Structure 1
Amino acid sequence: MSEQPVALVTGGASGIGAAVVNALAGRGFAVGCLDLAGSSDTAEHTVAVDVSDATAVSAAVAQVRERLGPISAVVTSAGYYEMAPVTDISADAWRRMLRVHLGGLVNVARATLPDLIDRRGALVAVASELAVGGGDGDAHYAAAKGAILGMVRSLGAEVAGQGVRVNCVAPGPTDTPLLASDSPWRATEYLSTLPLRRLATPHEVARCVEYLLCDATFSVGEVVNVNSGAVI
């Protein structure tokens, strides 16, 4: 079993999650990855799991703990994105969006909190700029990500006295495969509205996650907006 500090990253096989895995591995962590469909080239152990399934998440976390050791850092990055007018969003689509984003955070937090409390660790959730500002055609996604902000602030208040820091990053559109080549977020018309005139990169978001986990020792319940100035 590794004597390194252990981090757990959900959605760590691609996009922002993969960049977080790389950043934490570079910081000296042994990284375990939970991902629905892929495996991480950098993580030391990957478990295929749907984060919306609480029982499966508990078993996956136990597997990472057995393989790598007690977990002292957690990043919940698993998720997906889709656009639709609110009148076109089915009941199943609403439920699935909430189960994956909010439910994924809750399931992973509940499974890892004993370790985080024991090791006075930290958790960072990945939300979205849309959780703060909303968006046309993004109602169920923005609602699910907005719920993450409430969970982070409440959980942060609940466990800070036990030495656990809970914070959040809220990226704007980021240059990952999650955004299709014809996505409106990639359009010149949208990019021209941003103070930085460009998308964020996964590496930039990962550096903010790394900071909140490792260096921001006085931050609790914070939301760091990594969005090229879209929300100021």
Structure 2
Amino acid sequence: MRVLVTGGTKGIGLKIVEKFLKETQAEIHFTGRDVESGDKIAQLDPRLKFHAIDTSIREEIPRLYSEVGPVDILILNAGMCKDTLFLRMKDEDFDAVIKTNLYSPFWITKAFISDMLKKQSGSIIYLSSVSARGNAGQANYAASKAGLEGMAKSLALEIGKRNVRVNVVRPGFTDTKMTKDLPDALKQEIMKHIPLARMAQPEEIAEVVYHLSMNFSYVNGQVVTVDGGLTLH
């Protein structure tokens, strides 16, 4: 079995890589821009294969496919945000987020999906966010994630008959470097709206991604929200 995880050098992506390494005998390929971190992770096990690539550059995708080859599980996790109020948002801020969070998964899926369709087997997981529902100061990020969810559902309808499943995992407030950098006052305000009264750990998101990829064979075209109840409000 061969797995590809984009954005696998830190945060949720790294925990997904670690989960597959622990639970399977798969060959696990992962991408990232941080060459030092990627190389260090890859040295932990010969089954780990790091690819230093900026997935927001379309011309890089054919190289990624040629290095990795056909995969059984494709996990599109790489993402970015450039938060600011809508009226202050520059075109380049909007473009950069859309390119990384929406175009990149589109390009990579197109590159790898043909092999899955030929063998009539495969699982594709997209990582979204509760911000897909809309969030002040994140018009670009919300648009990218809402678009990603729509693309995933459409693709699931198109290729389900070929036994290739497509699903989305939508994390809530998760303990990553991105959230650590938020002001304490903002974090406390967000906590007030989470019934479980804590952030998710990246390992908890990875657990859902793993089982959705490997074990839930009749789940297709779904957006699985993992947010401790945040979006119940």
TM-score (norm 1): 0.91
Q: How far is 1:81 from its partner?
A: 2.1
- Corresponding position of 1:148: 148
Amino acid paired to 1:24? F
Farther-moved stretch of structure 1 (192-201 vs 32-41): 32-41
Q: Which residue of 1 aligns with 2:54?
A: 50
Change (3 A) 1:30 1:201: same
8 A contact 1:71–1:116 mirrored in 2:
yes
For 2:168, what is the secondary structure of its paired residue? Answer: strand
CA contact (8 A) 1:52 1:107 kept: no
Contact 1:12 1:33 in 2 (8 A): yes
**How many percent identity over aligned positions?**
26
* Conserved? CA contact 1:10–1:17, under 8 Å: yes
For residue 81 of structure 1, give the secondary structure of its aligned residue in structure 2. Answer: coil
* Pairing partner for 1:61 from 65, 78, 85: 65
Match of 1:37 in 2: 34
Q: Secondary structure at the match of 2:231?
A: coil
CA distance in 2, matches of 1:220, 1:184: 38
Please state whether the residue corresponding to 1:25 is helix, strand or coil.
Answer: helix
Alpha-carbon distance in 1 for matches of 2:187, 2:196: 14
Distance 1:62 1:93, change over 3 A: same
Unaligned ranges ≥5, structure 2: none
Preserved CA contact (<8 Å) 2:82 2:97 = no
AA matched with 2:7: G
After superposition, give the CA deviation of every residue in 1:18-52 in whole Å (9 maximum; x if it has no partner).
Answer: 01111111221210011122416156111111112
Paired with 2:173 and 2:82, the residues of 1 have a C-alpha distance of 13
Q: Return the alpha-carbon distance in structure 2 between the equivalents of residues 185 and 138 of structure 1.
A: 18
Alignment match, 1:87: 87
Structure 1 residue 82: Cα displacement: 2.9
Listed as ranges, the matches of 1:125-144 within 5 Å are: 125-131=126-132, 133-144=133-144
Query: In 1, are the aligned partners of 2:82 and 2:93 still within 8 Å (CA)?
Result: no
The whole-number CA distance in structure 1 between the counterparts of 2:183 and 2:163 is 41
Range with bigger deviation, 109-118 or 13-22: 109-118
Distance 2:131 2:185 in 1: 12
Q: For 1:205 and 1:180, locate their aligned partners in 2 and report how far apart those are by CA, in whole Å.
A: 17
Q: Residue in 2 aligned with 1:20? A: 16
- Deviation, structure 1 residue 185: 8.3
Tell me what 1:173 maps to: 173
* SS of residue in 1 equivalent to 2:5: strand
Cα distance between partner residues in 2 of 1:182 and 1:203: 20
Moved more, 214-223 or 112-121: 112-121
Give the 3-state SS of the residue equivalent to 2:73 in structure 1.
strand
Structure 1 equivalent of residue 199 of structure 2:
199
What residue in structure 2 maps to residue 225 of structure 1?
A: 225
Structure 1 partner of 2:6: 10
Alignment match, 1:122: 123
Please state whether the residue corresponding to 1:136 is helix, strand or coil. Answer: coil
Structure 1 unmatched runs, 5+: none
SS class of match (2:196): coil
- How far off its partner does 1:151 sit? 0.5
Give, as a single letter, the amino acid of the residue that structure 1 aligns with 2:148: I
Give the aligned CA root-mean-square deviation in angstroms: 1.6
Provide the TM-score with structure 2 as the length reference: 0.90
Whether contact under 8 Å (1:73, 1:116) holds in the other structure is no
Find the aligned partners of 1:73 and 1:183 in 2 and give their Cα distance.
37
Tell me the matched-pair count.
223
> Counterpart amino acid of 2:124?
L
